Amino acid sequence: MIKVSHETPLCLLGDSEKFNDYDYCLPHLLDEEEGYLEYFRQAKAKGRYIIMDNSLHELGTAYDSDRLMFWINALEPDEFIVPDVWQDRNASVENAKEWAKIVLPKNTTKVAVVQATTIHEAFTCTQAYKDLGYEKIAYSYGASYYNDVVTHPNKHLGKALGRMVVLSTLYNQGVLTKDDRVHLLGCQVPQEFGWYKGIDCIESIDTSNPVMAALEGIYYTDAGLDKKPTANMNDYFYMLSDQVNYDYLIHNVYKFREINDL
């Protein structure tokens, strides 16, 4: 079964346990917000599954390596996404080579993110990670080359379809197999994940899409959405609970699973 996690503002972290299969941790926030750190301390004590990111998406570059190692050793997450460089295959592979040598807690699986500017680079990046021994590989939602792969006039749908085509092609050509482990980072439109039926290596998903849509007053339809909400966690992290439309939130998180048959 594919595990799903939706990042939420600070005020909703406790509620998120009701609809998230695991907790997705942004390490820079562990240093910035005591309430966030306390949540993850408790999550670890409860035995909840934790995937720790490297905060590239939020910061523009991966978080400081020393602080990453501090929090990896402090929390011992079940998975850690090693630092990558946005849309730079070579730099990301070089980083992956260095992190492949670093000893992490024995129960922490290293995950490498494919970065590319063409579908060919996605192939070679994926293979490089497998050759380095990475047990799990992730694919971002926002790479520009997805719009080259699928030239849909709606760029949001084009990127979603483009990632699906990349993963399908990798799978059909045997670069990925049913025995591999794949994580999907974010999404442009929520209905994308229903398009992966038959690609049996997808293990986990993280996306704040249903939460961000709810906070923008967007109500998922039975077909999902045709564009990505403009909000992100940086905009809403410190919002107050009385500012949340809980009807929209509950509807969207459950409609997300329904439209994707999860």
pLDDT reported for residue 168: 98
pTM assigned to the model: 0.97
pLDDT reported for residue 196: 97
pLDDT, tens digit only, all 262 positions of the chain: 899 999 999 999 999 999 999 999 999 999 999 999 999 999 999 999 999 999 999 999 999 999 999 999 999 999 999 999 999 999 999 999 999 999 999 999 999 999 999 999 999 999 999 999 999 999 999 999 999 999 999 999 999 999 999 999 999 999 999 999 999 999 999 999 999 999 999 999 999 999 999 999 999 999 999 999 998 888 899 999 999 999 999 999 999 999 999 9
Domains of the chain by residue range: 3-259
pLDDT reported for residue 1: 87
CA distances from 255 to 74, 159, 206, 247, 258 (A): 35, 21, 16, 12, 5
Q: Which CATH number fits domain 3-259: 3.10.180.10, 3.20.20.105, 3.40.640.10, 3.40.50.300?
A: 3.20.20.105
